[in-house]
Amino acid sequence: MNKKILITTLLLSCTSVKLLCMDPLATTKQFELSVINKQIELIDKDLENLNKNKSEKAKLDNAPKKRDLRSKREELVRKKQELEKNKK
């Protein structure tokens, strides 16, 4: 999970470098929003994969992972809402 986020962040930062020359403040916030959106998307995919397991043992083993992912997602959604509010 963390490797996916790191790789995504690096890819997005490489593509946004040239945009920073145009309007640094606007593109920085836009970049942060795009990173947060991608992280939320990855967390959703991980949660979906964890929910595919049908066995009881797998459900019990995955419960802490699901909790952690949900709390990370909630934190990212709050951060995203703050950024969108400050953007206006």
Mean pLDDT by 10 residues, the chain (88 residues): 66 58 64 87 89 78 88 93 80
Task: Give the pLDDT score at 12.
Answer: 65
Task: Give the pLDDT score at 76.
Answer: 92
Helix (H) or strand (E) holding 34: helix 24-51
Task: Give the pLDDT score at 77.
Answer: 93
pTM: 0.64
Is the torsion defined by CA of 60, 62, 68, 71 positive or negative? Answer: negative
Say which DSSP state 22 is in: T
| CB distance 76 to 36 below 8 Å | yes
Count the Cβ atoms, other than its own, within 10 Å of residue 35: 19
